[in-house]
């Protein structure tokens, strides 16, 4: 085990384990596949589908495709940053500083009735990107949670055992 994956008290940091987990690998592949699939759609079939839309829906298409692209680029940046942690190219602390440049905030899509008028493929890509963003945000919150202000107490059972001992000695 590398030295940087141990805390001050010799504890294994769960956050660095998450970056090296199989779950992260799966999430990384899912994210990168979605980026490629979206790019292929928007550059191919999406262009021709957009031409057939009425004006108001066409505006929604343009707006939502921009939001989708922005969301996926931010997610890809986060995933690539944490893959660098996994590969040992940077520490989690470095990634934590760099991730401030990545925005994982959720942007709500347009009204449901407008989204429903968009091509089915774009609707699916938007939905999947929102689900991916939710997963990444949960993982990010776990990995970059601030350290506990409470000092480690050694064996957590000792206070309980002391109370029991004191109760029976009376």
Question: Residue 15 above 80 pLDDT?
Answer: no
Residue 31 confidence (pLDDT): 96
Question: Residue 7 above 60 pLDDT?
Answer: no
Cβ proximity of 109 and 67 under 8 Å: yes
pTM, 2 dp: 0.73
Give the pair of three-digit tokens for residue 105. 């905030």
pLDDT digits (tens, 9 = 90+) for 49-83: 999 999 999 999 999 999 999 999 999 999 999 89
For residue 1, what pLDDT band results from cuts at 50, 70 and 90? very low
What is the number of structural domains in the chain? Answer: 1
**Residue 148 lies in domain:** 3-169
- H or E, element range at 24: helix 22-43
Residue 31: which CATH number?
1.10.8.930
Q: How many CB atoms lie within 10 A of CB 38?
A: 22
């Amino acid at each position: 085990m590398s030295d940087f994956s141990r805390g001050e008290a010799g504890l294994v940091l769960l956050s660095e384990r998450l970056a090296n987990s199989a779950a992260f690998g799966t999430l990384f592949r899912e994210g990168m596949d979605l980026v490629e699939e979206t790019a292929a759609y928007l550059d191919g079939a999406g262009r021709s589908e957009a031409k057939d839309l009425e004006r108001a829906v066409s505006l929604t298409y343009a707006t939502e495709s921009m939001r989708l692209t922005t969301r996926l680029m931010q997610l890809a940046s986060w995933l690539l940053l944490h893959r660098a942690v996994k590969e040992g190219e940077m520490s989690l602390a470095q990634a934590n500083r760099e991730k401030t440049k990545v925005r994982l905030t959720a942007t709500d899509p347009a009204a449901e009735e407008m989204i429903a008028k968009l091509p089915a493929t774009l609707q699916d890509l938007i939905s999947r990107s929102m689900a991916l963003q939710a997963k990444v945000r949960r993982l990010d919150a776990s990995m970059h949670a601030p350290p506990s202000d409470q000092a480690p107490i050694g064996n957590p059972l000792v206070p309980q055992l002391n109370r029991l001992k004191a109760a029976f000695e009376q």
